[in-house]
Amino acid sequence: MTFKIIKIIMKKILVVLLSLSLSACVVSVSENGSYVPQPQSKTQSFNTQQGFSEQRLLRINDKMQEYIDTGKLAGITTLVSRNDQIVHFAAQGMQDRAAGEAMQRDTIFRIYSMSKPITAVAALTLWEQGKFHMNDPIAMYLPELANLKVYVSGSGESMVLEDAKSPIRIIDLFTHTAGFSYGFTGSEVDKLYRASPMIQGKATPENVLTELARLPLNHQPGTQWNYGVNTDVIGFLVEKLSGMKLGEYVKQEILTPLNMQDTDFYVPAEKVHRLSQIYNNNKQGETVVMENEPLGDYLSDPAIHNGGGGMVSTIDDYLTFARMLLNNGEVNGVRILGRKTVEYMRSNHLPANLLPYSAWANGEGYGLAMSVTVDTGALKFMGSEGNFGWSGAASTYFRIDPVENIIIIGMAQFIPNGTHRYADDLRNLTYQALVDEK
């Protein structure tokens, strides 16, 4: 991968609060390629009737602006809702630095793994219709995934495999305990994933399933948590049971009923100007435009609707989806799931011996396609036990707190997620602003 090296000049910006308007700084590019701060008026939404301190909420803006002023992130949009009322919104920085385009409320983002909860909800609508059971072997519906092999030891021609001792169940796919992987680590299985043109390149669902059947599982089904292409397989299950392409079914059952008009598996031509640029670091640690996006350019309908990471959305569309989950399956008079289904989705499904499921997930369990807080003390973040959510590879983030009736969403476009911990800051700064009595 080659990168265009751009030198970032860091400058401090004065943020001035005028009533409910905040003058937020955005960044433009000068003729010599350096970044020059340019003040631009932005409107922020606050509502102090929902138990928040307005002054404390402004700390969100200040902290997010630090990430922009230091050149770490080009732009960020943040939103906090409580009791179905937006108490904070800010669009700060740029959606495209080189073009001088400011971040907007309707900016479209690649949400990557925040696609997972949407795909999971699509599958759960079929579960509610009795189309499958959670304990069903996935091979009942996708026979390519029968008789799988599991990695034991070794590499290359000396790799030792064994038969799977039990079939992959559908619940294993929802909880990332099936044994599939992504290719993110240095494990021998992940090396095979990275080398696979069917997994990493363009293919058909049939090609991918055939390749998954050829590759060994990372572990015996149900015995470990391992992040992988599980939700993509759930997407294939949705297609098999519905007889529709995943995007068509998602649109029919979720997006259209909820009026999520800017969420899809690609960006149509008339909306391309709203798609944020995507960034990463070059070898010098500078924030530059990313070349060779992992899932393509999102400008045309893909051959595979990637249920685990292929969608785009806006902050308001995702708020609608999050409100549906917070309100037990219904929003704006439209019901997508039953209450008990949502409760099942947002419950921890991992046994104690699999917790924490990752070194970076102390205090977290895992529900269906989302993490769930089971111990706020171990987590070391503010919040409530039972809050749930997930994030995306390009630094998108959402969290839902049923105890406090709060939704937190952050949208940026920087790969890899977690390089800059703006989402951790957003979470804590939201809760520190909550001042009402319980």
**Interval 380-403: pLDDT, tens:** 889 999 999 999 999 999 999 999
In a domain, 380, yes or no: yes
pLDDT for residue 104 = 97
Average pLDDT for 332-348: 98
156: Cβ contacts below 8 Å, ≥ 6 apart: none
Mean pLDDT of the region 279-305: 90
**Within a domain: residue 428?**
yes
pLDDT at 22: 33
Q: Please tell me the pTM assigned to this model.
A: 0.89
**What integer is the mean pLDDT of 88-101?**
96
Q: Looking at the domain assignment, is residue 295 inside a domain?
A: no
- Cis check for the bond before 416: say yes or no (omega within 30 of 0): yes
355 and 240 co-located in one domain:
yes
Q: Are residues 354 and 211 in the same domain?
A: yes
Quote the Cα angle for 44-45-50, to 5°. Answer: 145
Instruction: Give the pLDDT confidence score for residue 120 in this predicted structure.
Output: 99
Domain CATH number, residue 305 = 3.40.710.10
Say yes or no: 46 and 117 in one domain: no
pLDDT of residue 200: 61
- Tens digit of each residue's pLDDT (9 = 90 or more) over 322-331: 999 999 999 9
Q: Identify the three-state secondary structure at position 119.
A: helix
Q: Nearest 5°: CA angle at 266, between 261 and 269?
A: 80
Residue 27, pLDDT above cutoff 50: no
* Domain encompassing residue 178: 109-266+301-396
56 and 24 belong to one structural domain: yes
For the ranges 168-182, 203-217, 220-234, the lowest mean pLDDT is seen at 203-217
* 358 domain residue, yes or no: yes
User: From the CB of residue 431, how many other CB atoms can be counted at a distance below 10 Å?
Assistant: 19
Mean pLDDT to the nearest integer, 83-95: 96
Q: Which residue has the tokens 């996006």?
A: 293
pLDDT band at 32 (very low <50, low <70, confident <90, very high): very low
Q: What pLDDT was estimated at residue 44?
A: 57
Alpha-carbon gap, residue 343 to 257, rounded angstroms? 21
Rounded to an integer, the average pLDDT of 261-278 is 97
Are 386 and 432 in the same domain? no
- How many domains is the chain partitioned into structurally? 2
